[in-house]
Structure formats: structure tokens, C-alpha cells
Chains A and B, each alone.
Chain A
Amino acid sequence: MNLFCVGLSHHTANVETRERFAGGAGAQSTLREAGCAEALVLATCNRVEVYGASEKRVSTDEIAHCLLQNSEVSERGHSEALPFYRYEAEKCVQHLFRVASGLDSMVVGETEILGQTKKAYQSARTSGAVGPFLHRLFQRAFRAAKQVRTHTEITRGSVSVGSVAVDLAQKIFGELGNCSVLVLGAGETSERTARALVSRGVTDLRVSNRSNERAQELAQRVSGQTVRFDRWPQQCCEIDILITSTSSEAPLLTPTDLGPVLANRIDRPLFIIDIAVPRDVDPAVNEMEGVYLYDIDALRSVAEQSLAVRCQQIASAEAIIAEHVADFLEKISRELSPASRITGHPPVADSSLRATQL
């Protein structure tokens, strides 16, 4: 039995090319008609991959044809060489394990890909496209991914500014359901951060902006309430999180302003996310007891620290994957009859594949 993976990803193809091959619901049955005894299509925003097991070789051209036949995007007759890659046997197993573990993702260590892979597997299993080979392969991939997540720090921390802000808020307040948030300025980044906080349970959201109209628009979008711009300083006594992103040239909040407010909330911390440039909050505010101030650079720095840690963990993750690959290949060759053991196809050049030929 030949095990292979044919696909394209963010490493090799731009989004326009990827969406042309994203494939429709019928891709798996078309692939089986083309000679794949088992086939599974993994289509995400960053990759389109076909995992197959077949008795005879199914060429990359045929796979591409199958994907294109089921594509929901019309063919526009591109003439550039298509950047498909092909992995067989051991390389295919290794590639899938790396993909499921998030090592091949655009953001190393992201965990969404594991859910997407599970979903693709479930869908293929329901349609009967998955047989014993792919079943064993994907089950082992999920185990490997779980072990990578548990035994390394590859998923540690957040790598985007919005997620970092939310993670920090949770590290200060625990559950965010009881937190009050004031969004000062109706910019795009503050809206994204506010939305991220709402997604983690924040219900008390207040919006204040120089233009009350824009404040009302944002408040409606995030299910919050509007606060008049001249009233926002008084809100500091009640709120737990302040997100500022105004275009003010001078700091809106200084230790002098905040001092009397803090005296009335000695046992409640205040988390300030200042994403404005120039900054809305005097950096000296961070020196005050119970105040945690993060400006855009600090948030980016935390995101970069997390990314650096993830990159440091790649070697450990690869070692875990290598163990799983070796163990999987050994077990499957013991369990299966010699005739149906995993082999790689003899190499055939597919590099001549061009979109215009499809």
C-alpha cells in the first residue's frame, strides 16, 4: 500500500492559488475514483493537502485535477508552475505529524490546526473515505500532537497583540466575567482587543470617544454602552481594564490624575492597555501600586518573547515527532500483511505540472 501526501501551503503558494484548489465536498469521492483506496482532504486557509493510500501510483497531476474539478472558485487559466509538494511513506507520516502539531503552521505552535485536522478526519470518516491506513495514521497524528503540546512549550503564550492583552487580563483578574472595561477611542485595534475580551466573558463594556457618534457605533458593535468623553476620568474608579487608543498628542492619564482614583480602590488592580501612538498614558503610571500598564511596544515584546520560546521548542517537538514516526512505521509494518505494508511510490517527475495543462 502506498501512502502519500500531495498539497500546497502558505510555504509554497499564495492565497489565490490555494483557494483555487481548496476543493469542494466531493473531492474525496473523486479522488477515490481516481484510484485512491483511501483519501482525506485537509483544507484550511493556509493549506490544501490530500492524504491518500493507494495500490497503484496516483500522480500529482491526477490529484490536482480532482481538486480542481471540485473547486468552488472558477479556473482563470494561470500559466505559472503549480507549487505542489509530494511526500510519500515515512516523509508523509512525518509531514502529517508536523502539521497536526502546529510545526508547519504560519504561526508556529498554533493549536487551531489540530482541530481542523480532526474535523477533516471526521468528515472523511463519515463519508467512508478513510480506511484502516488513514485511520491509524491520523489517530497517531493526534496522539503525537497532544504529546508535543503537553511535553513542550510550543503553544505557550500568545503571539498577537490582542491575545496577549487578553491573556494578561486573565493573569491579573482570573475570570473576566466580573470585569468592567472602558474603551477610550474608537480605533480598529481597540475594537479588536475589546472583542477579544468580550469573547472571554467580559459583559460590562463602556466606550468613550471624542466623537460621540463613533463611540455609539462601536458600542453597538461590541454590545457596550457609551460614556461621554468628558466623563471618562470618573469611570476609572469603577473599571478594571482601560483600553486607550486616542489620537491625543499629550498624555490623557498621568500619575497626578490617577493618584486620587487609586486611593479609593486600594485592593483592586487596574490594567491599562495603551495602544495609542503617541501614548495616551504617562509611562510613570506603571510605577503606581496596583497598576499594570502595557503600551503597544510592551505587548509586542511579550508576543515576541512567546514566539521566541515557541521557536526554541521546535527541536524538542521534532524529537517527539521522530519517535512517533519510527514507532508508527514499525507497528504498522508488524500489524499489516507484507503485501499491504506502507511503501513509497517509485519517484516520477511531476515538476512539469502547470496550471494551463489542467
Chain B
Amino acid sequence: MDRDLLIISTICFLAAVVRSGVALRAGVFRPGRFNFLAIGLGFVFQTAFLSIRGHAVGRCPLTNLFEVFIFLAWSVALIYMLVGPAYRLSLMGAFTAPLVVLLQGFALIAPIDVRHPVKLPANPSLEFHASVSLVAYGVFALACIAGVMYLVQERQLKTHQLRSIFYHLPPLSDLFAAITRLLWWGFILYTIGIASGFFIGRPLPRVQVVAAVCVWLLYAAILQGRYFRRIAPKRVAALCIIGFSAALTLLWGITFSAQTHSVQ
């Protein structure tokens, strides 16, 4: 039942991807309500899935890699819906939906939905630590998407080859402002997530701590370079993509390691 909700949710996101792709191919892309509605509907089904799964496991549904991926996809959709309209980044939906489809598609296909043999006891501190960290990952994902948009726009301006998408992308200055704000928000949330990890009532595996601190240091370095104006905007955009790719890889490692140590 819960997986059915997830399949419907993925179809909603896929509809947004297909519509954007067809429109961009035809050269008549108009960021309209359809994308936002499709993503909104997908988000509702994601939430329903997480709610049912949460009741089933008796805690925040972050007990295996499958649930972590879905929670991350949910965070990405949530942040998009909060950030997209505020920054008038309506085209961001065309970039956000594919990422969510990839995350959910992989989670559905790969044999990673390994149920725990016993119902795990609730641990609010651990759940807070894990959920805040994953929402931070969602913000970093949006920064990564804004980075892709920046590089696409920048490339077209440099090469003088202006495609249909150029006219619908926000100005470089607006995209860079959005990237900077997203990086700060993600960094603050991630810092809270890491700090709360030290109060979960038991020591964390060393490898998890090292990996989390590495991601934190990477984003701290990007923000430091930005703050002191030592890194050009184009490089900040590229670093957002590299940073999120690295963070996602490390998240996989952390979750895999946690699964073996059993999160309880």
C-alpha cells in the first residue's frame, strides 16, 4: 500500500519532467502552474507514504537506505515549494522534478527497502538529528539545482547561443543570490543536525562523524570563499554541484554504515 503511494508520487514528478522536456524541446517552454501542481501532488503522496511508514515503524521513517532516499526526495520537494515561488524561480521545478524522480526511482527499483525484523523504539533526539540533517541535504540539493541553472545560463551568455530556456531562466545575479541564501540555510541546518548528533544518548560510529564533518567543512569552505569574495560566482555554482554529489555519496556511506550498526 505505502509503496503504491510512492509510485503515484513518482508518476506525478515524472509528469512534470515529461511536460518540461517536451515544452523545452518544442522551444515553447512556459513555466506554468502545471509543474508546480504536479510537484505539489507528488509531495502530498510522498508525505502520505512517509506518514504511513512512520506509523508502521513507530518513529521517523529513517530506518533504512530506502526511507532515507525518500525522506531526502521529500525534503527537496518541500524546499522547492518554499523557495521556488519566493525567489520566482519557477523554472526550478523543471530541474527539481528530475532529481526527485531519480532519487525515488532508484529507491523503488534497488533492493534497499530492508525492513527491520523488530519494531524500533522511538528516540526523539536521534530522529531530530537525522531529519534536520536530511532537510539540510534537501536545501543543498536545491542549491545544486540553482547551480546547474546558473551554469546553463552562464554558458549560453558566453557562447552567444541563446536557446529557448535562456529566456525563462532568472538573471545570473538573482540565481547567485538564491544559491548564496540556500547555502547559508543549508549550512545552518546541517550544523544543527551535526550538533544534535552529539546528544542522542550514545556514541556515533566514528566513520559517520568523520564523513559528516567532511561535508560540513566542504560547505564551510565554499561559504568562506563566497563571504570573502575569493571565489567567482561560476565556481561557487560548480562547487554546489560537486558539494551535493559528494554529500550524497557520503550520505549513502553513512546510512549504509548505520544500517550495519542498526540505528536504534
CB <8 Å contact, A174 and B171: yes
Once bound together, how far apart are the Cα atoms of A269 and B171, in whole Å?
12
Q: A301 contacts the other chain (Cβ, under 8 Å)?
A: yes
Interface size class of A (residues with CB under 8 A): 20 to 34
- In the complex, whether B252 has a CB less than 8 A from a CB of chain A is no
Report if B199 contacts A (CB, 8 A): no
Q: Contact between B28 and A157 (Cβ–Cβ < 8 Å)?
A: no
Q: Is A152 an interface residue (CB 8 A)?
A: yes
Q: Say if the beta carbon of B230 comes within 8 Å of chain A.
A: yes
B231 located at the interface, meaning its Cβ lies under 8 Å from any Cβ of chain A in the complex: yes
Chain B interfacial residues counted at CB < 8 A: 24
> B160 touches which one: A153, A170, A302 (CB < 8 A)?
A302
The stretch of B106-114, B162-170, B254-262 in contact with A is B162-170
**A305 engages B162 (CB within 8 Å):** yes
In the complex, which residues 154-202 of chain A have their Cβ closer than 8 Å to any Cβ of chain B? 156-157, 168, 170-174
Q: Which of B123-163 contact A (CB under 8 A)?
A: 153, 157-158, 160, 162
Is B167 in contact with A156, judged by CB distance below 8 angstroms?
Answer: yes
Q: Are B231 and A172 in contact (CB under 8 A)?
A: no
* A84 within 8 A of partner (CB): no
Task: From known contacts A153-B164, A168-B157, infer whether A267 and B171 are also in contact, taking CB-CB under 8 Å.
Answer: no
Q: Taking the complex as formed, is B2 at the interface, i.e. its CB lies under 8 A from any CB of chain A?
A: no
Q: B231 touching A298 by the CB < 8 A rule?
A: no
B160 contacts A266, C-beta separation under 8 Å: no
Q: Does A294 contact B (CB under 8 A)?
A: yes
Contact A150 B30 (CB under 8 A): yes
Tell me whether A174 and B158 are in contact (CB under 8 A).
Answer: no
A229 touches B (CB below 8 Å): no
Chain A: CB-nearest residue to B177: A174
When distances are taken between beta carbons in the complex, the residues of chain B under 8 Å from A151 are 28, 30
Supply 17 further A-B pairs (C-beta < 8 A) apart from A171-B171, A174-B171, A267-B232. Answer: A152-B28, A153-B27, A153-B167, A156-B164, A157-B162, A170-B171, A172-B173, A173-B173, A174-B174, A267-B233, A269-B172, A290-B232, A290-B233, A305-B162, A309-B164, A313-B28, A316-B28
